[in-house]
Amino acid sequence: MKRVLFVCTGNTCRSPMAAAIAQGLSPEVQAASAGLGAFEGEPASGNAVKAMSKRSFSISDHSARLVSRLEVESAYIVLAMTRSHKRALIEMFPDQAEKIFSLGEYAGEDADVGDPYGGDLKAYEKCAAQLEELIRKALERALSPVDLRDAE
């Protein structure tokens, strides 16, 4: 089983949504999430919970946490929501840089996942749709028999 860590800013919207989607799409993945500036223990945002519920995923019991060295080290890959998150993670954990990517980059797309925080339900649903599309592509790559991290 491959452990995938999704990272965003506050760990209340994008990364918990991403982890739930990845976990639901593949039994071969152990998905986790964390934030670069998370307030430990914060719940997932209400609209994130609603958007995920519409997709038959539950994040209602999510509790935000800060990204840690242990989580990064124990991950097969670390998928950040934006290129700036990726840069921050590499700055924090330079010895782990070979496994840190933006989700869009790892999925073969030139796309960041925008933050829906504070937006209406439609913004969260749009974010969830983008996440699912990118995660499907990323999982196909991550679960390939060839370790594509070496091809970078």
Catalytic residue among 3, 83, 115, 136: 115
The 10s digit of each residue's pLDDT in 27-57 is 999 999 999 999 999 999 999 999 999 999 9
Q: How far is CA 146 from CA 140, 150, 151, in A?
A: 11, 9, 9
Catalytic residue among 8, 13, 112, 127: 8
Architecture of the CATH domain 2-145: 3-Layer(aba) Sandwich (3.40)
Q: How confident is the model at residue 144 (pLDDT cuts 50, 70, 90)?
A: confident
- Which residues, 6+ apart, have CB-to-CB distance to 127 below 8 Å? 13, 14, 17, 51, 113, 114, 116
Percent of the chain at pLDDT > 90 equals 93
Helix (H) or strand (E) holding 21: helix 14-25
The 10s digit of each residue's pLDDT in 107-143 is 999 999 999 999 999 999 999 999 999 999 999 999 9
Q: How confident is the model at residue 145 (pLDDT cuts 50, 70, 90)?
A: confident
Q: Domain locations in the chain?
A: 2-145
Whether 8 is a known active-site residue: answer yes
pTM, two decimals, is 0.94
Whether 61 is a known active-site residue: answer no
